[in-house]
Structure 1
């Protein structure tokens, strides 16, 4: 299983900026499927607080619509892999892609996460 966070305004799309999104949805994703674990409200937390929140949730991969270079570096230093999109993308589409990758031929960074998780 891989733990994934999606910064989202509507709980359907990756449509929120890392720094200003008010919530992120946490999903467990594996070869057999995926499920929503819960939604975390970010409140007024800034970059360091948001990274800590992701770490507390044991997030492996974080998706958002935009993230600045300094914030992205802090996410990476927190041992979380950030994925940034320039336009709105469906969470379900990304979950299906990730599930297929895990089940068939995961890229090296996902293999490393799966090995670390046991």
Structure 2
């Protein structure tokens, strides 16, 4: 599938309505140019916005394999940790419709993604090992 896995910080699974650090849940979708599927919903018990950095590792670990996370807001420390984990944080307006965001991603995937989405799609493509055969055939000169 030429697609990506994307998470949405949401308690109602229809709109983005949570700050990343204090989110009560993520709805995680597998999104391709012509399809999307909810593949996982993760809920968290302790969601207090108390500046406690210890809550971030569990949330970031939950996003393993995701290319992006849509949320209302995200702190600088969380942005740094997300990017280091290969997850692009994306801020949206409160109440942004998840189906519409998915539709936008599908449109971009169908027409040729750019930016973070192109990078995410490329990262999911299997590496063509035959490229090394071509390099070997060219020889190596110093």
**TM-score relative to the length of structure 1:** 0.91
Larger gyration radius, structure 1 or structure 2:
2
Q: Does 1:6 align with 2:12?
A: no
Q: Does 1:110 align with 2:117?
A: yes
Residue by residue over 1:69-89, the C-alpha shift from the partner in whole angstroms, topping out at 9 and shown as x without a partner, is 111111111110110124320
The size of the alignment, in residue pairs, is 116
Q: Does 1:46 align with 2:55?
A: yes
Mapping for residues 1-118 of structure 1, pairs under 5 Å: 1-44=3-46, 46-55=55-64, 58-118=65-125
How far off its partner does 1:12 sit? 0.6
Structure 1: unaligned runs, 5 residues or longer = none
RMSD between aligned alpha carbons? 1.3
Larger strand fraction of residues: 1
* CA distance, structure 2, for counterparts of residue 20 and residue 63 of structure 1: 13
Would you identify which runs of 4 or more consecutive aligned residues in structure 1 move more than 4 Å? none
**TM-score relative to the length of structure 2:** 0.77
SS in structure 2 opposite 1:46?
helix
